[in-house]
Chains A and B, each alone.
Chain A
């Protein structure tokens, strides 16, 4: 139990579907992140929110749309995805100003796009 909860854990969707991934952190952190993890590849940073404001968007296609309504919740809205978007999507949180910048990860949402 890392204090970061992601739902759903598994998701299968067609290319025309619209779905959302949800992340909630119970650690009192003020920064939240979305990472994409594909097999045999490094974790790719997608989005960063500090104090609910988006501070990073790493050239992510617009079919991925993040939302951060407060410092404890983060969503990733998905629409018209492609099969190559199939991956594990990891949410993480951290405390801004913490010396180490340590990330606390959720267990991920395994996405399969048919």
Chain B
């Protein structure tokens, strides 16, 4: 199993940048996922990191440091539609996915 910690809530202004941090503790590790979940909708895949470094996908980037047990999701040029919950999840050696409680991001005009 794994422990996944992330902040509960974050607020930012439209057009700004927000960084959501995630720390994990694990006895085995096969990658780190970020999912986005809008209210009343299914979680949808955003990113997967298994090697150290930054993965960029348009306005969203995800970073991983395995030695520090740390990841972040960076949301740039925030839009109102980015208001959602962002779930950090770690994949263990048995390929089981453990989730954090999610970070609710609110984007204000």
Contacts and interface: CB of A to CB of B under 8 A. Distances in A.
A4 interface: yes
Contacts of B45: 102-104
A45 B41 CA distance: 18
Interface size band for B: 20 to 34
Contacts of A42: 4, 98-102
Contacts of B44: 2, 105
Interface residues of A, number: 19
B43 A40 contact: no
Given A4-B42, A100-B48, A105-B43, A45 B31 contact: no
A27 interface: no
Contacts of B4: 42
A101 B4 CA distance: 18
Interface centre among B4, B8, B100, B102 (most CB of A within 10 A): B102
B43 A101 contact: no
Interface in B52-109: 87, 89, 91, 95-102
Interface in B20-47: 30-31, 33, 35, 40-45
Contacts of A107: 40-42
